[in-house]
Structure 1
Amino acid sequence: MIQAIAFYIFATLTIASAVFVIMARNPVHSVLWLILAFFNAAGLMVLTGAEFIAMLLVIVYVGAVAVLFLFVVMMLDIDFAELRAGFIRNFPLGILVALVLLAEIIFGIFAKNAGALKLGTPDGTAATPAGAPNIEAIGAVLYGKYLFLFEAAGVILLVAMIGAIVLTHRQRSDVRGQKISKQIARRPEEATVNVKPEVGKGVQL
């Protein structure tokens, strides 16, 4: 009984948050509603026993993606009048995209009712061990059978990150670089100069 009540609460909050993401006029409020939707979706995953997916929703989507969206939206100088003008101009294209998505959803429903695809008979090698939680089972598979593929994916992501930094890094010619060794080797008599300005002559810069 408590599981059914929790399911309806999480599902209702998730749907309501998703609606407010679209309906909110302020982009910052939209991102905050999106974070609330992610949290409630994580609650639904916990109810179904998928703890690993719930953890991914909180850590990856809420902790990284949604916070990144929030910072980007807050730093942007958004002109709402220009946004409204762009909405009216691109309204026909938006209707076309919506119709295409609706057609895909209807096609998917008919395809589902026609019968599922037969992908083969499982051999039981990927079954979760008895008494082991989902997180332990996924960890055993990732760091056991797919260890080298997992490490290769991490190396590829690292190379992509370094490449993005190298491609976007630009040295400014109008800003002098800091030379630590020259600053350390500088002597006190070279750093300060005693000047005795005459009365009414001002200060020489």
Structure 2
Amino acid sequence: MGFADISFIVFAVFTVVSGLGVILAKNPVHSVLMLILAFISTAGLFVLMGAEYLAFLLVVVYVGAVAVLFLFVVMMLDVDFAELRADYMRYAPLGGLVAVALVVQIGLMVANWQIPDEALAARQAPTEVIRTVTDAEVGNAEQLGMVLYTRYVHFFQIAGLILLVAMIGAITLTFRERRGIKVQDVGKQVGRRREDAVEVVSVPTGRGI
């Protein structure tokens, strides 16, 4: 059993265990920590398969969106922040375990990372004339880009519209109207006339207003 096989077993075990933790945890904080661990573990599996672009996409997009997801969960569940701060140390052991697991997995990713020979050659000669390459020499990111923006460009745009509608729906669900505060009426400000705001008064000399 090689180093890559051991790494695959570690990533797979962490993915399954953290996925179960997401759906079985009763505390939303624990679920978010398990979700981050599941995303990182899945990214490690993508690295082992040679799909480095999908691994970066999973970490940057999904792990970056976890904070926004947690924000919406807190807003919709109306979590008591005072109680959450009081029990801060209760989450420290689980957070420490997740941090250690992330460090181990990132180390395994770096150990299994293989830089293509074409990338090293391009780094040594960045001004060299670009030559025609075959599909076998094109990287993972280039192949996905050519497929997405040629064959599946319409589906890609439809997916973007669906995400936009989902974002608007989430903002609408979490929006709370606060009463008793002054709000700005743009239509009233734009439609304001000079006669409604300015009054010209003829004051006799020496009498004042």
Which of the pair has the greater relative contact order for Cα pairs under 8 Å at 6+ separation?
Answer: 2
TM-score between both structures, scaled by the size of structure 1: 0.49
TM-score between both structures, scaled by the size of structure 2: 0.48
